[in-house]
Structure 1
Amino acid sequence: MEACISVITEHFPLIEGELLQYVTSVLEGSQADFESNEDVYEAVGPVLSEVDQDKSEDEVQDICDKLFHMLKGDEDEKDSRKNGPHRILDAPVHLGKLVEDSADKDIQEANIWIAKKADSTIVDQKKLEKAEAKLKQKQEKRSDQESVPRVISSDDLLQAASASQQTNRKDVKFDSSGANRSYDIRIDNFDISYGSLVLIKGASINMAFGRRYGLVGKNGKGKTTLLRMIASRQLKIASHITILHVEQEVVGDDTIAVDSVLQSDEKRESLLREEREITAKINSTSPNSTEDGLSTRLTEVYAQLEAMEAEKAPARAAMILSGLGFTPQMQRSTTKEFSGGWRMRLALARALFAKPDLLLLDEPTNMLDMKAIIWLENYLQTWPTTILVVSHDREFLNSVATDIMHLFSQEIDCYKGNFENFVKTRTEKIKNQRKEYEAQMQYREHVQVFIDKFRYNAKRASLVQSKIKLLEKLPVLKPVEKETDIVFRFPDVESLSPPILQLDEVDFYYTKEKIIFKNVCVSADMESRICVVGENGAGKTTLLKILLGDLSPTKGFRHIHRNLKIGYFSQHHVDQLDMNQCSVEVLASKYPGRNTEEYRHQLGSFGLSGDLAMQPVVSLSGGQKSRVAFALLAMGNPNFFILDEPTNHLDMETIEALGNAINKFKGGVVLVSHDERLIRMICKELWVCGKGTVKSLEGGFDEYKKIVEAELAAQQ
């Protein structure tokens, strides 16, 4: 065993004493059971690999091979000693005296009481220094890697989330046999967690084919994660059901926009490709040698293309793109020429064209203007397959949804009807649950008083026992969990005398060939609640930047009060947050020198309290990230807000809180928004961008909606 120890310490100079003792005890205890070097490797190989991770598996295998041969040599030597000649003593021997007096070295070495143990801890100093230097280099490399900030992608988020589901073996067998052709979707008894945070527990979903389901719930409850789990099939769905999740924008390349949409129908593309290949083969051969098989297959391909109305596909693709705001010129442009927002629209167009069995949409209205939203509402009302959409736009859900799924308290409840019907039904349900719970509590209390009063009364003993059994049989009701109210609080500001912000006879263009604005005259004061509307590309964001002073008019004047302090919320504001910092650190980096409690108080003013304030921004939902952005914006104490699409990713309760906060704010507000409910809550004036001008519309939002619907009707 001493030889084995020497080999181990020679090849693993950094092995600790306890580990060495463990390895040698394993080798010694299992010596007789080892039949090959593989047995030795399985017994101690993993431990030795952990001691020196620079050694490859083959090197550790070779060392274990040496140890095996040494152990087998020791075992053979023991066997020869056991079976060899025995020394017979003529008389009793005093071992101590024998050691002192005998010159027989063999006897001394055989004496187990005084045998000297070989020094097994002697290490080659040069090898030890080399190993220590290598270990130090590895530690430095690891610390350098840890110091570099790691950007976390959406793929990392999907990996951080996990789903578990109890599946029925009969259903799995039925699906694998190919006999299941139902397009109804049933996902029973599943859990979803994000790290240690449980988002959904013991939930079940049933979706009938052809119905349109709206998924609602507060930010951070797991709606987007649920869509990702369904799309990645981590939740069991029949294999013949096609799923398409509109989440990522189209990759920018040289593909024409309309061709990109046509390519999303893989079956049509495959048949067209096959038709071209067969036609080329037929044309390349002489008429007399044409194969009958090719002609037959070509006829079948033509029949399939005709059945799916392939010739109408380009017109249908162009109609979808036009509805989503793509002009004929844009439809002929390459995908790389579009911005991220337009590529998201292109991804939506591809999904609508492909018509999967299950279409998953996550906030589809975020990148759309009012005209495109109204078109999408009308288009989805005749959608032939199943839709599951996450949206916080009440009017959109009222128009599109046939059923509402409500994610609350880690459970999913389904309600028939659109969103307004869901609100009424749920309000009534909560009211009845609260009444039932309170009534049962009163009854329990009444019965318990009787039990306590006559518990020790012998005459009433039987009655008391019956009352106790009655209480045990009552169903256990949970108290109705109340949803926490979200409150936004903007800072108090002093009033400023007009004029506050004004544009006089302003012209603006990026190039002289394309004039954005001509002779614009608008003004805002501390009482203003102005909403800017118009089609995408009409210049809404450009107008905001002129008001901010980021862009200078090519003609005309911009007047601003000297004490005006503008707070600007960009629709890309959330993307500019440092995703690896927590919310408190984000505020501290922009406004340093304040204590942590002040930052936490600011975040609490926008519904981010407790552990949420200390979580990395990347782990927050889209709506929670928007709240961080609002907290950052308000910390500068502006007295005038310019908001560009502030409702993107916000849930309905948060949009309501934002509307209430804006109404209470003492400063002026100009915003661009497509959320009809927010516009109706706060808007006192409507500016319509289009055709190179900005006009104030009398009649408000209702009048603007009539104009848009008339334009859509004229296009059709």
Structure 2
Amino acid sequence: MVSDASKKKAAQKKAAAAAKRGGKAAAAAVAAAASSKAADKAANGIAEMHISDRTCTGVLCSHPLSRDIRVSNTIPPSWAVGSVAWLFYHVAMIESLSVTFHGHDLIVDSELELNYGRRYGLLGLNGCGKSTLLTAIGQRELPIPEHMDIYHLTREIEASDMSALEAVISCDEERLKLEKEAEILAAQDDGGGESLERVYERLDALDAATAEKRAAEILYGLGFDKQMQAKKTRDFSGGWRMRIALARALFMNPTILLLDEPTNHLGILSTLAIVHLRPFRHIQFFDLVILNLVYAFCSTIIVVMIVAIFGNFYLLESLKKFERILVVISHSQDFLNGVCTNIIHMQSKKLKLYTGNYDQYVQTRSELEENQMKQYKWEQEQIASMKEYIARFGHGSAKLARQAQSKEKTLAKMERGGLAEKVVRDKVLVFRFTDVGKLPPPVLQFVEVSFGYTPDNLIYKNIDFGVDLDSRVALVGPNGAGKSTLLKLMTGDLMPSDGMVRRHNHLRIAQYHQHLAEKLDLEMSALQFMIKEYPGNEEEKMRAAIGKFGLSGKAQVMPMKNLSDGQRSRVIFAWLAWRQPQMLLLDEPTNHLDIETIDSLAEALNEWDGGLVLVSHDFRLINQVAHEIWVCANQSVTRWEGDIMEFKAHLKAKAGSGDFSLPKDFSLVVHEWVVPFELDFPQLGRFPLA
């Protein structure tokens, strides 16, 4: 038997070790845990809604200890539970899952199936209930077994005074609570006794001793060096705060990981890197550390480029190798192709599962719908023919009457067996911007413009260019390169440090950005909001203005808190369009929009006669609307000689070949790979194109 004195001594040693391993970041994380939890609630807007806003019905039909999930309203037979027969019931196709939101049916009599080791992309039109379903899972409003922990990521982390490292560590509430409890127990006269031992056993099970190290490794893998990990989250852009949020998700490593639009704010180069950086999959984290040590003694550009390339590749590999259950909502086809093993399509209040990534889903769905339409047409022709025969000869001669009765039986048998349903096409939304005519150039001109938020840190230096009403420009570049800053210089929200921005006296500019959503009073309806913003206009005119962007009927008059993020984005577009701008500046307009809505937006922009400057990480949208590609990096704006797909191919080729030699377009190579991660490397200076 171990004596009490020995136990006390061992407990005191463990307490000292715990304090040492926790470090400053862990201590700060304990203090910040409460505020972090509050910030998470603020970020998860839908999750804050009262449970009564949602009604979810379903019964878990997989074994309670299974790693897979099958949910329905159908209760499994008692003879199956706990027996070998359960396994057969477990793989049966069961229907009847239902989800209602504010009295509106989103899912009716359907099935949810999530298998361990699979990565699901959740698709559907804006407002169909994708985010609501994820929130219902995350809030355990569906019968998810308690042994399966869930982490639901909806938005970038809230800006606060916590450092990036503290923000990641603070998400593990159980560990923080146990460490605090251990500290209190260790301070007691008896040293905590058996209670402290139990706490330490649980901390060991959670691998608490390595928590700070693991968090630092994940952040490093996502592009945060040691200095950046110590920066406050409020000092990061939205893209970098999204990376911190993703780091929290990877740090938690939950059984079920739910990601709602994780590529929002990451930027075009980030999204591309997430999907296409494959040639370095053999390189581990410690190889990156070695490269970093090499950099400490060698300041060559090549080493900088190699070190900087891994941030988003790390994220891709982490998600591609996620061995549990991943469900992700994303409008990025590249991301869905690179990560997902299955697609769940929400349509007509049903969930339908497809095997494969997004491209395979599109092909499979097209083939199934084509076959379904053929079957539907054949059955309808047969039914019409039999009904005509029955009506014509049902009261004729005995022979004809018997044949008619036979056809009636055949028809009844077909109906009992189930008839093919008519293919339901996705609703096509039509956006419309009002044509505004032309203004003589120059409309918007930059003359030797320099700008920096501080005199010692210029974002742009001596840039010259012009934008007219026939311009269709896409700005590309990494997070923090100054794309949004350039748009603010165009609108006049920011003034240049040097040089001049000239605007035509009659030019009307409208800028779309994500912070406009904060302008919406969510207690008001879209119609009430438009009438408030533009008083003196008839209600019918306001209805028509909103209807131009795909919101009609009840969606116009219900409180906007009941609308999806994508539907709220359409309200903002309607609000901007009513001002009849001659130039649109769109900063990440596809965030929260579904793929079909993005296509409608592209079509509307192509039919509109105004000028366009676009910032987007969506290659498809850029390819559809942009005539020019401008690369923002290295204090300059450089025109890319080619379209966006050629730019994408250029980046893929550089990643795929592993060629880090110094080509003629050396400055662009530096822009593409060094700047995306904004590591605190020495200033590279400006490199003119050869």
TM exceeds 0.5?
Answer: yes
C-alpha distance in structure 2 between counterparts of 1:643 and 1:362, whole Å: 22
Contact 1:567/1:642 (<8 A) preserved: yes
Output the CA distance in 1 between the equivalents of 2:59 and 2:198: 45
- How do residues 472-511 of structure 1 correspond to structure 2 at under 5 angstroms? 472-474=412-414, 475-511=418-454
Q: Distance in 2 between matches of 1:327 and 1:534?
A: 20
* Residues 1:299 and 1:438: Cα distance change in structure 2 (over 3 Å): closer
Identity %: 40
Output one character per residue of 1:417-457: Cα deviation in whole Å (capped at 9) or x when no partner.
01111111111111111111111111111112221221221
Q: Please state how far the C-alpha of 1:296 moved relative to its aligned partner.
A: 9.1
Task: Report the CA distance shift for 1:300/1:566 in structure 2 as closer, same or farther (over 3 A).
Answer: closer
Counterpart residue number, 1:242: 149
Residue-by-residue CA offset, 1:225-271 (whole Å, 9 max, x unaligned): 11111111110111111111113654655543213313434576578
Structure-1 separation of matches of 2:590 and 2:472: 16
- TM-score, with length taken from structure 1: 0.70
Residue 698 of structure 1 aligns to which amino acid in structure 2? E
Alpha-carbon offset, residue 481 of structure 1? 2.2
Q: Give SS of 2:49's match.
A: helix
The CA deviation string for residues 440-475 of structure 1, in whole angstroms up to 9 with x for no partner, is 111111112221221221322222211111111113
Partner of 1:231: 138
Shift in Å, 1:605: 1.2
Deviation of the 1:400 alpha carbon: 0.8
Against the structure 1 CA distance between its residues 595 and 293, is the aligned structure 2 distance closer, same or farther, given a 3 Å change threshold? closer
1:360 aligns with 2:360: no
- Bigger drift between 463-472 and 703-712 goes to 703-712
**Residues 184, 677 of structure 1: alpha-carbon distance in 2 compared, 3 angstrom cutoff:** same
Q: Which residue of 507, 517, 520 corresponds with 1:577?
A: 520
Q: In structure 2, what residue type is equivalent to 1:404?
A: I
1:159 counterpart letter in structure 2: S
Give the distance between the partners of 1:499 and 1:252, measured in 2 at CA. 40
Once the two structures are superposed, what CA deviation does each residue of 1:474-531 show, in whole Å capped at 9, x if it has no partner?
1333322232211111111212332221111101122212212111112212221111
1: CA distance, partners of 2:200 / 2:137? 38
Distance 2:540 2:262 in 1: 38
Computed over aligned residues only, the root mean square deviation of the Cα atoms, in angstroms, reads 3.1
Distance 1:309 1:696, change over 3 A: farther
Alignment correspondent of 2:49: 156
Q: Decide whether the 8 Å contact of 1:186 with 1:237 is kept in 2.
A: no
What's the counterpart of residue 600 of structure 2? Answer: 657
User: Is the Cα–Cα contact under 8 Å of residues 275 and 301 in structure 1 kept in the other structure?
Assistant: no
Contact kept? 1:532, 1:687, Cα under 8 Å: yes
- SS for the counterpart of 2:338 is helix
2:167 aligns with 260
Q: Which residue of 1 aligns with 2:301?
A: none
Q: Matched residues in 1 for 2:263 and 2:498: separation? A: 35
Partner of residue 488 from structure 2, selected from 509, 522, 545: 545
Among 575, 587, 609, the alignment partner of 2:552 is 609
Match of 1:456 in 2: 395
- Correspondences of 1:690-705 after superposition (within 5 Å): 690-702=633-645, 704-705=647-648
Matching residue within 121, 125, 129 for 1:218: 125
Question: What is the CA distance between 1:353 and its match in structure 2?
Answer: 1.2
Q: Which of 245, 254, 264 in structure 2 is aligned with 1:347? A: 245
Change (3 A) 1:561 1:250: closer
Q: Note the C-alpha offset of 1:692.
A: 1.8
| Residue pair 1:394, 1:419 contacting (<8 A) in 2 also | yes
Residues 54 and 101, structure 2, Cα contact 8 Å, conserved in 1: yes
1:471 is matched with 411
SS of structure 1 residue aligned to 2:366:
helix
- After TM superposition, the structure 1 stretch with the greater mean CA deviation from structure 2, 272-281 or 212-221, is 272-281
What amino acid is aligned across from residue 330 of structure 1 in structure 2?
Answer: M
Query: Partner of 1:572: helix, strand, or coil?
Result: helix
Q: How does 1:124-523 map to 2 (within 5 A)?
A: 155-156=48-49, 158-167=51-60, 175=64, 180=65, 182-188=66-72, 189-247=96-154, 250=157, 254-265=161-172, 311=210, 313-322=211-220, 324=222, 326-335=224-233, 337-338=235-236, 342-373=240-271, 374=274, 375=312, 376-459=315-398, 460-474=400-414, 475-523=418-466
In structure 2, how many angstroms separate the alpha carbons of the residues matched to 1:302 and 1:165? Answer: 35
What secondary structure is seen at the aligned counterpart in 2 of 1:421?
A: helix
**1:161 is matched by which residue type in structure 2?**
R
Q: Return the letter of the residue paired with 2:264.
A: N
Q: Is the 8 A contact 2:444 2:504 kept in 1?
A: yes
Q: Distance in 1 between matches of 2:136 and 2:204?
A: 38
Q: 1:385: how far off?
A: 1.6
Change (3 A) 1:274 1:596: closer
SS at match of 2:112: strand
The 1:258/1:299 distance shift into structure 2, 3 A limit, reads closer
Structure 2 residue matching 1:515: 3-state secondary structure: strand
CA distance in 1, matches of 2:428, 2:198: 65
The structure with higher relative contact order (CA 8 Å, sep 6+) is: 2
* Cα shift at 1:643: 0.8
Residue type matched to 1:524 in 2?
A: V
Q: How much has 1:416 moved relative to structure 2?
A: 0.3
Name 1:107's counterpart in structure 2.
none
| Residues 525-556 of structure 1: CA deviation (Å, up to 9, x unaligned) | 22211111222222111110111122221211
Find the aligned partners of 1:570 and 1:215 in 2 and give their Cα distance: 25
Point out the structure with max Rg over C-alpha. 1
Contact preservation (8 Å) 1:161, 1:195: yes
Q: Are 2:615 and 1:672 aligned?
A: yes
- Relative to structure 1, the CA distance from residue 237 to residue 401 in structure 2 (aligned partners, 3 Å threshold; closer, same or farther) is same
Corresponding residue to 1:568 among 488, 496, 511:
511
Q: Deviations over 1:559-588 (max 9, x none)?
A: 222332212112211221122222122222
CA contact (8 A) 1:325 1:372 kept: no
**Distance (whole Å) between structure 1 residues aligned to residue 567 and residue 185 of structure 2:** 55
Change (3 A) 1:326 1:158: farther
Query: Do the aligned residues in 1 keep the contact of 2:164 with 2:232 (CA within 8 Å)?
Result: yes
Q: CA deviation at 1:686?
A: 1.6
- Structure 2 residue corresponding to 1:687, chosen from 623, 630, 634: 630
**Take 2:47 and 2:326, find their aligned partners in 1: how far apart are those partners?**
23
| 1:365 partner amino acid | T
Partner of 2:18: none
Could you tell me which residue of structure 2 aligns to residue 533 of structure 1?
476
Point out 4+ residue stretches in structure 1 off by more than 6 angstroms: 270-281, 290-303, 711-716
Cα distance, 1:332 vs structure 2: 0.1
Give secondary structure in 2 for the equivalent of 1:654.
helix
- Could you tell me which residue of structure 1 aligns to residue 292 of structure 2? none
Gaps of 5+ in 1: 1-151
Cα separation, partners in 2 of 1:228 and 1:293, compared to 1, 3 Å: closer
- SS of corresponding position for 1:573: helix
Is the partner of 2:111 in helix, strand or coil?
strand
Mapped contact 1:278–1:298 kept (Cα < 8 A): no
Q: Which runs of 5+ in 2 are unaligned?
A: 1-44, 73-95, 275-311, 656-669, 680-690
Question: Secondary structure at the residue paired with 1:209?
Answer: coil
- TM-score, structure 2 normalization: 0.73
Structure-1 residue corresponding to 2:577: 634
SS at match of 1:383: coil
How many residues are matched? 547
User: Given residue 526 of structure 2, which amino acid in structure 1 is its aligned partner?
Assistant: S
Alpha-carbon spacing, 1:303–1:325, altered in 2? closer, same or farther (3 Å)? closer
SS of 2:120 mapped into structure 1: strand
Secondary structure at the aligned position of 2:537 is classed as: coil
